[in-house]
Amino acid sequence: MGTRKRILIVDDEPRILDILNEFFRTRYEVVTASNPAQGLFIASHRRFDVILLDINMPGMSGLEMAAAIRAHGNTAAILFMTGYPSRQNADEARKLGAVACLDKPTNLLHLDELISRTTHRQSAPS
């Protein structure tokens, strides 16, 4: 059996982290962070296949965090979630190369399908 894919989830809402961790932990290695600073530290020290970011967080937005992750050469697939959808956020997410920008509450089955397709594409031979 191959190595499980690794997901980093960054959200300032503990309940969201708990729900996502519980949902994904049987299929993926899940690491969670409750704020952007913690998430950046973790992302700079470990490799992840997918990084799932909340857009609106105190101190630094998920969009700013994604830009910092990319500036350090991290090529993980990035997906965003937001409770405050806007065209501006969606456009900025696309510019950062996001796989998706999903509204909260997020349909977990849809999110699971997106992550599965993303990790499958990453592991497909070139």
Does any domain span residue 1?
A: no
Q: Is there a domain that residue 54 lies in? A: yes
In a domain, 104, yes or no: yes
pLDDT tens string 64-114: 999 999 999 999 999 999 999 899 999 999 999 999 999 999 999 999 999
User: pTM score, two decimals?
Assistant: 0.93
Q: Is 100 within a domain? A: yes
Alpha helices (runs of H) in the chain, residue ranges in sequence order:
14-24, 36-45, 62-71, 87-95, 108-123
Which pLDDT band, with edges at 50, 70 and 90, does 2 fall under? Answer: low
Q: Which residues contact 63 (CB under 8 A, 6 or more apart)?
A: 55, 80, 89, 92, 93, 96
36 located within any domain: yes
Q: Which domain holds residue 93?
A: 6-123
Residue 84's CATH number: 3.40.50.2300
Sheet containing 6-10: which strands, arranged edge to edge? 29-33, 6-10, 50-54, 77-82, 100-103
Number of domains making up the chain: 1
- Asked, as a colleague might, if the bond just before 105 is cis with ω within 30 of 0, I would say yes
* Residue 99, domain member (yes or no): yes
Determine, yes or no, domain membership for 41. yes
